[in-house]
Chains A and B, each alone.
Chain A
Amino acid sequence: EVQLQQSGAELVRPGTSVKLSCKVSGDTITAYYMHFVKQRPGQGLEWIGRIDPEDDSTKYAEKFKNKATLTADTSSNTAYLKLSSLTSEDTATYFCTTGQTGFDYWGQGVMVAVSS
């Protein structure tokens, strides 16, 4: 069974960056596109982007193109989301997700709080 394990909660200062990880177990990461989704408190889901770990190609939602960077390390079966120039608008829970018939598998989510 595929499982996605995300890194722990982060409290970060405005203007800094943070890098979140998502480790895949139960299969090789190259079998899937890895997606990341943002959810602000009490709000809906926003798709950030996806990476194909097979060739490192990426797609981003327009609003995240200067905010998010997706990378993958096939040797550790891990995908990463880096968020830069953090503001209070980036305070949210970030999920990694993947699947074959829709988003079958989800990480547990990681809370990022941006505060001085």
Chain B
Amino acid sequence: DIQMTQSPSSMSASLGDTVTINCLASQDIGNYLSWYQQKPGKSPKLMIYGATNLEDGVPSRFSGSRSGSDYSLTINSLGYDDEGIYHCHQYYEYPLTFGSGTKLEIK
């Protein structure tokens, strides 16, 4: 199975900051990587697909990047609405797998 090692597990940042969340794939997954935001008691919401593509309706403050097997989600100009848990997800091959999640708190 492909392991997705996500870091950090939690982080706290201030309004207006820029933060980066990382996922390391245990083997090549190409660009078959997506990022989800989840708020308490809610379903996950697709933010980025294909490693770098912004889902319709998602603010351009969010961006995804890739360097080899390292994938990153960057959020610029943090706002209170960005608080939540972020999950990375590989859909390159079965079984599909997720990272362990990053809890982002806005101070």
* A interface residues, Cβ below 8 angstroms from B: 35, 44-47, 50, 59-62, 95, 97, 99, 101-104, 106-109
A35, A59, A62, A104: most-surrounded residue (chain B CB, <10 A)? A104
Give the number of A-B contacts (CB < 8 Å): 55
| Chain B interface, >50% SS class | loop
Q: Which residues of A have CB within 8 Å of B34?
A: 102-103
A101 to B98, Cβ gap below 8 A? Answer: no
Partner of A101, one of B49, B89, B95: B49
Partner of B95, one of A44, A62, A102, A107: A62
A11 to B91, CA, bound (A): 32
Give 1 or 0 for each of B45-84: 1 = CB within 8 Å of chain A CB. Answer: 1100110010100000000000000000000000000000
Q: What's the tally of chain B residues with a CB closer than 8 Å to chain A?
A: 22
B98 to A104, Cβ gap below 8 A? Answer: no
* B interface residues, Cβ below 8 angstroms from A: 1, 34, 36, 43-46, 49-50, 53, 55, 87, 89, 91, 94-101
Contacts A95-B43, A99-B46, A102-B49; A46 near B98 (Cβ below 8 A): yes
A99 to B53, CA, bound (A): 15
- Distance of A11 from chain B, by nearest CB (Å): 18
Q: Which residues of B have CB within 8 Å of A35?
A: 96
- Cβ contacts A to B, 26 pairs, < 8 Å: A44-B99, A45-B36, A45-B44, A45-B101, A47-B96, A47-B98, A50-B96, A62-B1, A95-B43, A97-B44, A99-B46, A101-B46, A101-B49, A101-B50, A101-B55, A102-B46, A102-B89, A102-B91, A103-B36, A103-B46, A104-B46, A104-B55, A106-B44, A107-B43, A108-B43, A109-B43
Q: Which residues of A have CB within 8 Å of B49?
A: 101-102
Partner of A45, one of B1, B55, B87: B87
Q: Which residues of B have CB within 8 Å of A59?
A: 94-95
Q: Which residues of A have CB within 8 Å of B55?
A: 101-102, 104
A44 to B96, Cβ gap below 8 A? Answer: no
